[in-house]
Amino acid sequence: MSKGRQDRGFGTSGKRRQAGPRTPDRQRHAIALTQQPPRVNMPEDKPVSAVVIVSEKSRAQYPWLPRCVIAGSVWRGPGNERVRIDAQGQAKA
């Protein structure tokens, strides 16, 4: 039997081991349900990152760039060159 299988909760017989009794530190906590929906994004929260489409010129220069990226993200190419994508989708080394 492979060692990887034993690491995933299987015993030496190949059957799955049962977890022991739940102790207070391992118990799952109940989620309180309310009438109000969960908070998603409030005005004082940090804004969500903008997704931009990389320009054709940038994709021609750096063909390993994906079509859509997060504005301001930095991508590493095959030669460890670093390229930052601006909010207009232009790549700058």
- What 13-16 contacts at long range (C-beta under 8 Å, 24+ apart), as own/partner pairs, is none
Total-model pTM: 0.52
- What 64-73 contacts at long range (C-beta under 8 Å, 24+ apart), as own/partner pairs, is 65/91
- Each residue's pLDDT, cut to its tens digit, for the chain (93 residues) gives 555 554 555 556 666 666 666 666 666 777 777 888 776 777 787 777 899 999 999 999 999 999 999 999 999 999 899 999 999 999 999
Contact present, 83 and 59 (Cβ < 8 Å): no
Contact present, 19 and 11 (Cβ < 8 Å): no
